[in-house]
Amino acid sequence: MELRVLALYPDQMNIYADRGNILFLQRRCEWRGIGFSCAGAGPGDRVDPAAHDLFYLGGGQDRDQRMVAADMVETKREALASAVDDGAVLLAVCGGYQLLGHSYQLGEERIPGLGLADLETVREPGPRLIGNAAVRADLDDGPRVIAGFENHGGRTHLGGDARPFGEVVKGFGNNGEDGLEGVQRDNLIGTYLHGPLLPKNTWLADRLIALALERRYGAFPELELLDDRMELAAQQCARRAALDA
Ligand code: GLN
């Protein structure tokens, strides 16, 4: 078995340890004897929806999003939509998450989104939403608390058809108001929780690996348990940082 990852705009959309999330997926595969490959797709590159099973779109500042958005819609939207419809995993973080929606409105400017999830992001007046966060998420295998860190100026509002990734236990989530965090649809997940999201939340990392392998090999794999003492300690620490704040 091989986990086939495609990093979208790895040179533009990669703030806050986004590379670390991919490295963590690689290590968890290697530790189990599962093959791993990672390709990158930058500006102008076309994407083969069947060639990869896990697509990763990291965070970015407004200016990075401005640089990639139109290109992504033009050169990758169709392939990503077809991959997601076909069960591929797509994980998008913060700036990447905002670009999954219809658009990101920055004053007069409208940055186009992929339209893969029913949501809108607006840069409204008010402070940036920054801090440690804890979210109760459920990917149809029981609720878990995800620990992470958020830092965004944009406020995201889910449309009527959208299902959140989770509920905010502590922090701001999508907009600091409705208690919702992120989005999920099929195996697409968007979240404001930045890297190191996956090293701090091994359940999420393994769930994504298993779903991606299921797409390619047909059966949901039973992943070998790993010695996660260090990772679980990191999770506890991140949870405490959020909950005790
Ligand atoms: N530019 C976006 C915002 O500030 C996302 C920033 C990020 O990825 N941290 O809302």
For 26-79, write each residue's pLDDT tens digit.
Answer: 999 999 999 999 999 999 999 999 999 999 999 999 999 999 999 999 999 999
How confident is residue 245, by pLDDT bands cut at 50, 70 and 90? Answer: confident
pLDDT at 195 exceeding the cut of 80: no
What is the model's pLDDT at position 161? 86
Residue whose CB lies within 8 A of the most ligand 1 atoms, among 9, 123, 151, for a mutation test: 151
- Which amino acid, 99? L
What is the model's pLDDT at position 17? 73
Residue 188: how many CA atoms within 13 Å on its side-chain side? 25
Residue whose CB lies within 8 A of the most ligand 1 atoms, among 18, 93, 94, for a mutation test: 94
Ligand 1 center from residue 60 Cα (angstroms): 6
Ligand 1 center from residue 139 Cα (angstroms): 24
Enumerate domains of the chain plus CATH numbers.
2-243 (3.40.50.880)
Ligand 1 center from residue 23 Cα (angstroms): 22
What is the model's pLDDT at position 28? 98
Mean pLDDT, rounded, for 141-162: 95
Cβ distance 204 to 196 under 8 Å? no
Q: How far apart are the first and last CA of the chain?
A: 42
pLDDT at 223 exceeding the cut of 90: yes
Query: Which residues' Cβ are closer than 6 Å to ligand 1?
Result: 15, 59-62, 65, 94-95, 151-154
Q: What angle do CA 37, 165, 135 make, to 5 degrees?
A: 105
CA nearest to 100, candidates 22, 163, 21? 163
**Bridge partners, residue 188, by sequence:** 90, 185
Mean pLDDT, rounded, for 192-217: 95
How confident is residue 196, by pLDDT bands cut at 50, 70 and 90? Answer: confident
Q: Which residues are catalytic?
A: 94, 194
